[in-house]
Amino acid sequence: MPALRGVLAALAAILLLALSGAAFGHSPRELLSILFSGSVGSAFAFQNTLLKSVPLLLTGLSVVLAFRAGVWNIGGEGQFIVGALAALLASRYGAVAALLAAMLAGAAWSSLASLMRLWRNAPEVLTTILLNFIAIHLLGWCVNGPLREQAAMYPQTDLAAASLPRYAGVVIAVVAGVVAWWLLYRTKEGLRLRATGFNSSAAEWAGVNVRAQLARAMAISGAAAGLAGGIELLGVTHRLFERFASGYGYSGIAVALLAQLHPLATLASSFFFGALVTGAGELQRTANISSAVAVFGQAVVILVLLGFEHARRAR
């Protein structure tokens, strides 16, 4: 049962975290209690978790949509950044325009990889990763150069001209999750997308234009990641700086896999990872345990799920 596997994977991650802590002399009970209280134990913690979950939900959806079509979109990081850049530039026209620009930019960035695949057979696994790096350096150039703040003190931009209410992102992200579910399971487009992901040759015989479908899936996927960047800019950070993306794009992979590639389940899995990240931050503050354990937790979840999938296939 897929939900059970997800829960087991999540538990395995927590367990390994506690064990690793114990190996270095921390009390597992204390470690777990800090994780818990630091993520959902207080109203303040809960709010932080919620805010961290938003970009994870959207980048998770981005990966879900791509993987469901059988496409390797590892470019969430770059699409996130480009989306935020576009949102910044379009923010003078209002928040809605900015978010739309973010989605368009994300879709365009991912479509670069599609184009390279369609035109020159370049594998999107590599092109999307390369585009991540290009986007990171593009951002670096922008915040140090043409988009640098007026005061010119730090490598960051000025405040965006528009902003979102603090929790607007949560609403948008949840709506996006529902829309993604509806798209995948209640529309013809989603049907074709899933068919392509399951068995592209059979889909071709059933009348699906597989090449076009893959390109569309990449574009939608990029749009979701771009939207994540736009919301993070307009709702949380309000300006851009060098380490803006800080792994949200890559974490989307863990979110998607824990959700077993179901859009509605990403609501839960993004919350789990949001809690993990926030709790890990608290761990670093109070117990001086590196907050990078959250990333370690993501890895354990993925590996456990991969193991389950092998066991299932081998049966």
Partner 1 sequence: MLDALVDVIPLAIVAATPLLLAVQGELVVQRSGIINLGIEGMMLVAAMTAVLAAQTTKSVLLGFAGGIGGALLIALLFGVFVIALKTDQIVTGTAINFLAIGATSFVYRELQQGAIFVQAVPRPRVDYVLPLAWIAFPIILALFLWNTSLGLRLRASGENPEAVAPVARYRAIALMIEALLAGIGGAYLALVLSSGFAENMTAGRGFIALAIVIFGRWKLKGALLGTAIFGLAAALQYALQASARGVPYHLLLAFPYLVTLLILCGVAGKVRAPESLGR
Partner 2 sequence: MRLTRITKTFGTHSNSTRAVDDVSLDLERGEILALVGENGAGKTTLMRIAAGELAADSGAVEDRGAVGFVHQHFLLVPELTIAENLALIDPRFRFATRRTLEREAAAVIASSGIELRDVSRRVAELSVGEKSKLELIKAIARRPSTLILDEPTSVLTPHESDELFRVMRTLAAGGTSIVFISHKLPEVLAVAQRVVVMRGGRIALETRSATAQDLALAMTQSPLPAHGERVRVRGALILEHANLQLHAHETVAIIGVAGNGQSELARTLRDRLPHAAHIPEDRTRDGVIAQMTIAENLALRDVKNADEIIQRYSIRAHGPRRPAGDLSGGNQQKVVLARELDAHPPVIVAAEPTRGLDLDATAFVHARLRDATASGAAVLLITSDLDEAFALADAMHVIYRGKLSERMTPEEASSRLANLMAGVE
Contacting residues toward partner 1, per CB under 8 A: 20, 24, 72, 74, 116, 119-123, 125-127, 129-131, 133-134, 137-138, 140-141, 144-145, 250, 253-254, 257, 284, 288-300, 302-303, 306-307, 309-310
Which residue from 138, 208, 302, 303 is in contact with partner 2, where contact means CB under 8 A? 208
Per CB under 8 A, 216 contacts partner 2: no
Work out how close the CB of 130 gets to partner 1 at its nearest, in angstroms, rounded to a whole number: 5
Nearer to partner 1, 171 or 311 (CB): 311
124 vs 137: CA distance, rounded Å: 20
141 vs 122: CA distance, rounded Å: 27
Work out how close the CB of 208 gets to partner 2 at its nearest, in angstroms, rounded to a whole number: 7
Work out how close the CB of 168 gets to partner 1 at its nearest, in angstroms, rounded to a whole number: 30
The residues, any chain, with a CB within 8 Å of residue 37's CB and separated by 6 or more, are 45, 282
Nearer to partner 2, 149 or 204 (CB): 204
Nearer to partner 2, 52 or 192 (CB): 192
DSSP helix/strand/coil, 260: coil
Nearer to partner 1, 84 or 257 (CB): 257
* Alpha-carbon dihedral angle through residues 225, 110, 78, 300, given to the nearest 10 degrees: 70
Per CB under 8 A, 202 contacts partner 2: yes
Q: Which does 199 bind (CB under 5 to 8 A by kind): partner 2, partner 1, none?
A: partner 2
Q: Is the dihedral of CA 110, 77, 270, 88 positive or negative?
A: negative
**What distances in angstroms separate CA 26 from CA 12, 20, 22, 279, 288, one per listed residue?**
18, 9, 5, 16, 10
Q: Which does 20 bind (CB under 5 to 8 A by kind): partner 2, partner 1, none?
A: partner 1
Q: Which does 167 bind (CB under 5 to 8 A by kind): partner 1, partner 2, none?
A: none
Which residue blocks in the chain are alpha helix, DSSP H? 2-23, 28-40, 43-68, 76-90, 95-120, 124-144, 168-186, 188-198, 200-205, 210-231, 248-258, 265-287, 293-314
72 vs 125: CA distance, rounded Å: 5
Burial of residue 150 (CB within 10 Å: 0-12, 13-18, 19+) is exposed
Work out how close the CB of 194 gets to partner 2 at its nearest, in angstroms, rounded to a whole number: 7
Work out how close the CB of 266 gets to partner 1 at its nearest, in angstroms, rounded to a whole number: 16
Nearer to partner 2, 184 or 304 (CB): 184
Which residue from 3, 19, 206, 306 is in contact with partner 2, where contact means CB under 8 A? 206
Nearer to partner 1, 42 or 246 (CB): 246
Burial of residue 170 (CB within 10 Å: 0-12, 13-18, 19+) is middle
Q: How far apart are the first and last CA of the chain?
A: 14
Give the residues lining the site for partner 2 (CB under 8 A): 188, 191-192, 194-195, 198-199, 201-208
